[in-house]
Amino acid sequence: MIRVLSSDLAVIGQSLIKSLDQKVSAPCRGNLAALTDSGLGNLLALQVIMSRRLHARRVEGVDKNIWVEFTQLAADYKVVNLGQGFPDFSPPKYIQDAFCKAVSSGCPMYQYTRGFGHPPLVKILAKFFSRIVGREIDPFDDILVTVGAYQALYCTFQALVDEGDEVIIVEPFFDCYQPMVKMAGGKAVYVPLRPRAEGGKTVSSGDWTLSAEELSSKITPHTKAVVINTPNNPLGKVYKTEELQMIADLCIKHDMVCITDEVYEWLTYDGAKHVKIASLPGMWERTITIGSAGKTFSATGLKVGWAIGSGRVMKHLKIIHQNSVYHTATAAQVLLLTNNILQLFS
């Protein structure tokens, strides 16, 4: 199919006129110059456009993003943007100092490090989280450092969800889960947290509960994974051990993977205790735990996250990582290794 496109008309038209100008007599050149100046030379230009479908089907229906929409609306109407979870204040001074030190540390900070995570960083993460999950985590097999938790989620869905797989997502949920499942060829299936009101009034986020019966009813032979977010965004709900055990029992019974987004794991209040589902019996081998340095240190622009799980699972996430972004910024990883931050991981 041949169509006229305005964007490149001038360039192509000018080229055609220049070619003609070299082949005509002097009197005609004035006419060509006038034609050029008037812009009518644009009419000489045609561009070949693909008539076949240009985009991949995986991007259909996932073009809208609520955060992009909220941010634009806030800018258009000059109002406070409550749509995104980032602070309007600086991170702790030790984070700022660590970043300055990292970017001032010479050539290595501006070059590649290990693609799956800077060796000193994965070692300290492994040491720290080994104590929490109650097992030895291999820093090089069981951890993948990513460009924020967002990319950790993307690698997880791309690596584990196949065409026709069903993925149960607990509502309410962070908006990227559904489009990432869809782009991987999967089908999102929803199970809501429901408020358990006392005296007709919901007291706190802890009153939102997940029904074992309702979750069980959504499981089919095609169910590959269940996605939870604890502490939950936007409710703030912190799953209790008995709730996690119920999910774990179903994962084991039906041979499902658990994808657990725990980027807010340090934001717990009023005595609530964050428990990692990967620490429960039988769950290490079937759980991918997502974490975030940006959320932990109130510095979302750092874009350093990680996925942690059994090496036999993580090797598939690493394939996606190495064939997409390949590498997380070296300096951003190194800043997490300064003394003040290391004390938090010790």
Task: Flag whether 68 is in a domain.
Answer: no
Check: CB of residue 153 under 8 Å from CB of residue 261.
Answer: yes
- Total domains, the chain: 2
Task: Flag whether 78 is in a domain.
Answer: no
Task: Flag whether 200 is in a domain.
Answer: yes
Task: Flag whether 83 is in a domain.
Answer: no
Same domain, 9 and 134: no
Task: Flag whether 33 is in a domain.
Answer: yes
Same domain, 108 and 243: yes
Same domain, 163 and 16: no
Same domain, 133 and 198: yes
Nearest CA to 247 out of 274, 228, 229 is that of 228
Same domain, 25 and 127: no
Domain that holds residue 225: 94-344
Domain boundary among 48, 63, 81: 48
- d(Cα 314, Cα 317) in Å, to the nearest integer? 5
Same domain, 164 and 254: yes
- d(Cα 61, Cα 55) in Å, to the nearest integer? 12
Same domain, 42 and 100: no
What CATH number corresponds to the domain at position 177? 3.40.640.10
75: its two tokens:
């800018």
Q: Distance from first CA to last CA of the chain, Å, rounded?
A: 65
Task: Flag whether 301 is in a domain.
Answer: yes
Same domain, 131 and 246: yes
Structure letter (DSSP) for residue 308: E
User: What are phi and psi for residue 7, nearest 5 degrees?
Assistant: -60, -40
Question: What's 286-299 look like in SS3?
Answer: HEEEEEEHHHHCCC
Same domain, 14 and 157: no
DSSP for 99-110, please give it.
HHHHHTS-GGGG
Same domain, 23 and 160: no
Q: Which residues, 6 or more positions from 129, have their beta carbon under 8 angstroms from its beta carbon?
A: 137, 308
What type of residue sits at position 71?
T
Query: How many alpha carbons fall within 13 Å on the CB side of residue 219?
Result: 19
Q: Where are the alpha helices (DSSP H) in 8-143?
A: 9-21, 26-38, 66-77, 93-103, 119-133
How would you write the pLDDT of the chain (346 residues) with one tens digit per residue? 444 444 454 554 455 455 555 555 555 555 545 545 555 445 444 455 678 889 998 889 888 888 788 889 999 999 988 777 677 789 989 999 999 999 999 999 999 999 999 999 999 999 999 999 999 999 999 999 999 999 999 999 999 999 999 999 999 999 899 999 999 999 999 999 999 866 667 678 888 999 999 999 999 999 999 999 999 999 999 999 999 999 999 999 999 999 999 999 999 998 899 999 999 999 999 999 999 999 999 898 999 999 999 999 999 999 999 999 999 999 999 999 987 677 777 6
Same domain, 114 and 232: yes
Q: Helix (H, G, I), strand (E, B), or coil: what is residue 4?
A: coil
Task: Flag whether 302 is in a domain.
Answer: yes
Task: Flag whether 54 is in a domain.
Answer: no
Nearest CA to 156 out of 344, 337, 309 is that of 309
